[in-house]
């Protein structure tokens, strides 16, 4: 069985123990309660090598350890409060006090969006805020945090504080601050735990079924935008049950999982909910390149190829390069086609004859298969290949010159202007005349 270390405050640990039997049914679990951030870092440093993975009681102990020791290179996850957990707390509070005025109830701002408006029907309830934490002073941010809550309480605007900082229980009691604690529900914690087990399983079979994603933007990002992308990526991982290991690699974020997870997540390589989730939370385009292979090195190389294709679109996009060198993308788009950039003697010979790159020929074959016919206009080709109409016209004109296409007819789109040319692609006939087998991706 796998071994997992759980780092949490004593107050959080009491909540986590509600799923102790579930944890122990799948793993050997060691609980490591800490009394201060210094104690947390000490416990992690002394025990990290003992475990196959780590669970943290919340985002803040996780960030504390990450700030102190850098990126964690073993599978890890942290418990967080989901939207349904907020709803459960609100429902309990309403049952206990039906007259409670939520305009005077403070909630820590949720990591995962919560639709408070659908509950209260107004914008001013409840009060939402975020205690700012200076991670450069990671060993000493508790004093400023305590001051934040004390000032908030003393302002007279709040009758109840609802917070995730279980470690402040004694402080709130000493200062007579009325409070409720937000803890992840057993259902949310089990989802996080199962996600961690998935990560460990992924890590265990990583070399035999590797899948990597490289995530970047086609435009230069500021430091704040880069941090926002990282935070959004963490939220995305949580949203999908923590199926990824996340690393920061230079100008990219890197995700690691296995092929079976990607197939399920992408609905057999047709969509990319990760890119959609990231794009919805930032103000810049996001590109994702997925690479699959039987080993990490080839998976990373394929991810680079996929990312290159995604970046060429100039906007948000996702591509996959599969273990058999198939390129699929853009995902979640009507432009999605499947082609290859791997060397192929048949495509290479046609490329030399036509004066058109082998990659473009491979894409043209895929577009024809996608359309279910053998005709193309320059506008259609430009649409599928994400190139200009002028570039598409040049490619089609070369095919006409070399016998790989004919102008079948002109279609008058309106009563004015020049008619659009429709090209009939005859590359299959060209291949037959050259006594070549039908190229891959071309229907005989």
What CA–CA distance (Å, rounded) separates 5 from 52? 8
- Pick from 109, 115, 217, 125: nearest CA to 164: 109
Do the domains 344-433 and 1-80 match in fold?
A: no
* Token pair recorded at residue 386: 């994400």
What average pLDDT score do residues 283-300 get? 92
Task: Please report, in angstroms and rounded to a whole number, the separation of the first and last CA atoms in the chain.
Answer: 52
Q: What is the pLDDT of residue 418?
A: 59
Q: Rounded to 5 degrees, what angle do the CA atoms 136, 139, 143 make?
A: 100
* Residue pLDDT, tens place only, 206-233: 445 689 999 999 999 999 999 999 999 9
* Residue pLDDT, tens place only, 119-129: 888 888 888 88
Q: How many CB atoms lie within 10 A of CB 228?
A: 17
* Residue pLDDT, tens place only, 160-186: 998 877 778 888 999 999 998 888 888
What CA–CA distance (Å, rounded) separates 77 from 86? 20
Is it true that domain 205-333 has CATH number 3.30.70.270?
Answer: yes
| Residue with the larger pLDDT of the pair 386 and 395 | 395
Q: What is the CATH architecture assignment of 344-433? A: Orthogonal Bundle (1.10)
Q: What is the pLDDT of residue 416?
A: 54
- Pick from 81, 109, 105: nearest CA to 93: 105
- Pick from 284, 267, 374, 280: nearest CA to 328: 267
- Long-range CB pairs of 223-230 (<8 Å, 24+ gap) are 225/282, 225/283, 225/284, 228/281, 228/282, 229/253, 229/278, 229/282, 229/286
What average pLDDT score do residues 383-390 get? 87
* Residue pLDDT, tens place only, 19-41: 999 999 999 999 999 988 889 99
Domain boundaries, the chain: 1-80, 83-181, 205-333, 344-433
Chain centre distance of CA 182: 26
If pLDDT is split at 50, 70 and 90, which confidence band does 69 have? Answer: confident
Q: How far is CA 366 from CA 184, 259, 421, in A?
A: 48, 23, 20
Q: What is the CATH architecture assignment of 83-181? A: 3-Layer(aba) Sandwich (3.40)
Q: What is the mean pLDDT of the chain?
A: 85
Q: What is the pLDDT of residue 394?
A: 93
Q: What is the pLDDT of residue 221?
A: 94
- Pick from 42, 8, 26: nearest CA to 183: 8
Contact 339, 327 (CB under 8 A): yes
Superfamily of domain 1-80: Probable inorganic polyphosphate/atp-NAD kinase; domain 1 (3.40.50.10330)
| Residue with the larger pLDDT of the pair 86 and 344 | 86
- Range with the lowest mean pLDDT among 54-58, 127-131, 254-258, 398-402? 127-131
Q: What is the pLDDT of residue 153?
A: 93
* Residue labelled with tokens 């919805």: 280
DSSP 1: -
* Residue pLDDT, tens place only, 315-343: 999 999 998 889 999 998 888 998 887 77
What average pLDDT score do residues 43-67 get? 89
* Token pair recorded at residue 276: 């959609």
Q: What is the pLDDT of residue 444?
A: 43
């Amino acid at each position: 069985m796998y071994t997992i270390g759980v780092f949490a405050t004593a107050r959080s640990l009491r909540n986590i123990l509600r799923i102790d039997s579930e944890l122990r049914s799948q793993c050997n679990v060691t609980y490591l309660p800490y009394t201060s951030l210094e104690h947390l870092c000490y416990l992690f440093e002394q025990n990290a090598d003992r475990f196959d993975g780590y669970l943290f009681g919340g985002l803040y102990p996780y960030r504390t350890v990450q700030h102190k020791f850098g990126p964690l290179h073993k599978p890890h996850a942290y418990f967080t409060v989901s939207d349904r957990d907020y709803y459960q707390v609100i429902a309990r509070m309403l049952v206990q006090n039906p007259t409670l005025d939520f305009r005077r109830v403070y909630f820590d701002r949720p990591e995962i969006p919560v639709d408070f408006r659908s509950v209260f029907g107004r914008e001013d309830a409840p009060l939402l805020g975020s205690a700012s934490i200076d991670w450069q002073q990671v060993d000493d941010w508790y004093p400023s945090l305590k001051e934040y809550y004390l000032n908030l309480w003393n302002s007279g605007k709040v009758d109840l504080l609802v917070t995730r900082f279980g470690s402040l229980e004694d402080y709130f009691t000493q200062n007579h601050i009325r409070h409720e604690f937000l803890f992840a529900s057993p259902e949310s914690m089990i989802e996080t735990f199962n996600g961690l087990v998935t990560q460990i399983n992924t890590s265990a079979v990583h070399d035999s079924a590797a899948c990597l994603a490289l995530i970047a933007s086609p435009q230069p990002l500021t430091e704040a935008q880069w941090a926002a992308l990282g935070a959004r990526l963490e939220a995305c991982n949580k949203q999908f049950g923590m199926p990824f290991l996340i690393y920061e690699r230079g100008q990219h974020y890197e995700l690691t999982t296995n092929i079976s997870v990607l197939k399920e997540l992408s609905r057999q390589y047709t969509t990319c909910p990760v890119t959609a989730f990231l794009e919805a939370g930032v103000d810049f385009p996001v590109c994702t390149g997925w690479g699959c292979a039987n080993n990490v090195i080839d998976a990373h190389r394929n991810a680079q190829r996929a990312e290159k294709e995604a970046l060429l679109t100039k906007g948000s996009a996702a591509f996959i390069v599969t273990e058999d060198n198939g390129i699929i993308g853009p995902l979640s788009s009507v432009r999605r086609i499947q082609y290859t950039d791997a060397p192929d003697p048949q495509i290479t010979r046609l490329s030399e004859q036509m004066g058109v790159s082998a990659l473009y020929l491979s894409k043209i074959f895929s577009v024809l298969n996608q359309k279910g016919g053998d005709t193309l206009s320059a506008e259609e080709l430009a649409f599928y290949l994400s190139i200009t109409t002028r570039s598409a016209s040049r490619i089609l004109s070369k095919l006409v010159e070399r016998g790989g296409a004919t102008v079948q007819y002109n279609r008058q789109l309106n009563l004015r202007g020049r008619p659009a040319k429709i090209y009939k692609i005859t590359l299959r006939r060209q291949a037959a005349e050259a006594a070549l087998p039908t190229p891959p991706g071309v229907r005989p």
